[in-house]
Amino acid sequence: MVRQEVPSDWMERSLEQGLTRVRAPEELWDRVRSPRIERPGVHIRMNAARMSACATFAVAIIVLLWGVHPRIAGGALQLRSSNPAEIRAWVFAKTGLDVPLHSGQLIGASVKQGRVEVAYSAGAHNIFLVVSKNRDKNARYSWTADGQSYMLACAEPRELAACLLCHVGG
Partner 1 sequence: MTEKPGRIGPVRSSNDFGMVLDANDREIIEACQRGDYDAFRALFEAHKDRVYSIALRYSGDRSAAMDIAQDTFLKLLGSIQNFRADASFESWLFRIVVNACLDHKRSGRRLMPFLDSLLDAVKAPAESALHRLLRAERELSVQAVVAKLPPEQRVVVVLRYTEGLSYEEIAEIAGCSVGTVASRLNRAHKALERRLSHLKVRGGANG
Chain residues binding partner 1 by CB under 8 A are 2-5, 7-11, 13-25, 27-29, 31-32, 35-36, 39, 41-42, 45
Please say which residue, 29 or 57, places its beta carbon nearer to partner 1: 29
Tell the smallest beta-carbon distance from residue 56 to partner 1 (Å). 23
Kindly tell me which of 42 and 93 has the beta carbon lying closer to partner 1.
Answer: 42
Least Å distance between CB 8 and partner 1? Answer: 7
Q: What is the 3-state secondary structure (H, E, C) of 57-123?
A: HHHHHHHHHHHHCHHHHCCCCCEECCCHHHHHHHHHHHHCCCCCCCCCCEEEEEEECCEEEEEEEEC
Cβ atoms 141, 152 nearer than 8 A: yes
Q: Residue 7 Cβ, how far from partner 1 at the closest point, in Å? A: 4
DSSP single-letter state for residue 159: G
